[in-house]
Structure 1
Amino acid sequence: MTTPPPVPPAATPMSPSDEKLWATLIHLGGLFFGFLAPLIGYLVLKDRGPFIRAHTATALNFQLTLIIAYFAGIILTFFFIGLLVILAAYVLNIVFCIIAAVKANRGEWYTYPMSIPMVR
C-alpha cells in the first residue's frame, strides 16, 4: 500500500506592501525584459492576492499586445510605415510601464490603454 503524494500548501496571501512592491517590479520588468517578467510574475504570484493578480495580468496583456504591434511593424516595414509603428510601440511601452509602476506603487488599480485582454 503506497501513501498518496502530499498536497502542496495553498499560497499564502501577501501583505499589501509586498503586493505593491511586486506589482511595481513586474511593470518595470516589462519595460526591461518584455513579456518574460510579467509572465513569470503571473505564474508565480497570481494566487497571492487580488491586487498582484490584476497587475500581473494587465502587464502581461500589455506586453503580449506589444509583441503583436512589433510583429505588425516588422511586416509593415516593407511598406515604409513599419518603422513608425515599431517606434510608437517602443515609446508607448516606456510611458505606460512607468505610469503603471507609479500607480502600482501607490496601491492603485491600473489597466493599460490599447491592451488586448488575453489573460485574466
Structure 2
Amino acid sequence: MSDMKDKLEDVKDNVEEKADNAKIKLDKTVDDVKEYAHEAGEDMKQTGEAAKEKFSEVKEQVKSGFDQTMADVMEVTADDRNKAVIMHVLSIFFGFLPSLIFYFALGDSSEFLKEEAKNDLNFQITLIIGYAVSFILVFLVIGFFLMMALGICCLIFEILALVKAKDGEHYKFPLSLNLIK
C-alpha cells in the first residue's frame, strides 16, 4: 500500500509540476499577447493619426479646390471685368436696378458677369429687406441708425466687390441672402 501511496504522491507531484509549467507557459503567453496587443494598439494609434493627418490634408486640398471661384476656372476678359466694375458703381447709386439689368441683358454673354450680377442682386434684395425693417423701426428711433448703418455697409461692400471684380474675382457679400440661385 505504501507503494501505491508513493506512486500516487509521484503522480501528484508530477501533475503539480506540469500544472506549474503550464501556468508559467500560460502566463508567458498571456504576457506575450498583452505585449503584442499593446504594440498593435500603438501601431494602430500611429496609423490612425497618420491616416487622420492624411485625411486632413486631402480634405484641405478638396476644400481649396472647391473654393476656387469661376473666375479662377474660366478666362475673364478685361471687358467683362470693366462691365462688372461699372455695375457695382451704379449699384451704389441706383440700388438693385443695375444688377437686375446686367443679370438679364448681359448674363447670357458672360458667366462671370452673370455670377457677379446674381451676387449683387442678392445683396441688393437683402438691403431692401433691411431698409423695410428699418422703416418700420423708425417709430422707435433705432430705424434711423439702422438705415445709416445699411447705407454705410452698402457703400463699403460694393467698393470691395468692385475691387475684386476689377481683378476678375467674385466677391461673396457678407450677410447676403441667397435668393437668386
TM-score (norm 1): 0.84
Return the letter of the residue paired with 1:98: I
CA distance in 2, matches of 1:82, 1:58: 26
TM-score (norm 2): 0.57
Q: How many Å apart are 1:30 and its aligned residue? A: 0.6
Which string of whole-angstrom CA distances, capped at 9 and with x for unpartnered residues, describes residues 31-66 of structure 1?
011111111111101111221111000011111111
Tell me what 1:40 maps to. 101
Q: Percent identical across equivalent pairs?
A: 37
Tell me what 1:7 maps to. none
Structure number with higher helix proportion: 2
List alignment gaps of at least 5 residues for structure 1: 1-13
For this pair of structures, how many residues does the alignment match?
Answer: 107
CA distance in 2, matches of 1:102, 1:59: 14
Tell me what 1:100 maps to. 161
Name the Cα RMSD after superposition: 1.4
Higher relative contact order, chain-length normalized (CA < 8 Å, sep 6+): 1
- Structure 1 residues 15 and 113, CA gap change in structure 2 (3 angstroms): closer
Tell me what 1:29 maps to. 90
- Counterpart contact for 2:76–2:168, Cα < 8 Å: no
Report which of the two structures shows the higher radius of gyration computed on alpha carbons. 2
CA distance in 1, matches of 2:176, 2:161: 13
